Amino acid sequence: MGLFSKNKKEEKTSCCCGSCTPETMARAEAGKASGGVKVLGSGCAKCVALEQAAREALEELGMETAIDHVTDFAQIAAYGVMTTPALVVDGKVVSYGKVLKKKEVKALIQKIRG
């Protein structure tokens, strides 16, 4: 019986369902290199809530309140994030998959920028 000896074709997959091009990956890597605070996600209510909490935390800390909201899935995948919303501080993913409260965001920012 040849059930287990059949040759299977291996399919090549990419991080974003095959839509990666060298240009999109270069853009994603360039975005990772830049500092600041970023929210990664599609723009859903949870992403917006995380962005608002981050904005309030930065205001309380007296820091720059500019926050980038990354919605491009190729850029999100470049961070290794598979569950959104995610929070990135100075190029480092500090949280993913949940909406943080202002106090939690503030503690994470202080830890990274301490």
Cis peptide before 22 (omega within 30 of 0): no
Q: How far apart are CA 46 and CA 23, in angstroms?
A: 29
Q: Find the catalytic residue in 16, 17, 20, 44.
A: 44
Q: Find the catalytic residue in 16, 17, 20, 47.
A: 47
Q: Is 16 an active-site residue?
A: no
Kindly report the backbone phi and psi dihedral angles of residue 27, in degrees, each rounded to the nearest multiple of 5, phi listed first.
Answer: -65, -40
Q: Is 47 an active-site residue?
A: yes
Residues labelled as active-site residues: 44, 47
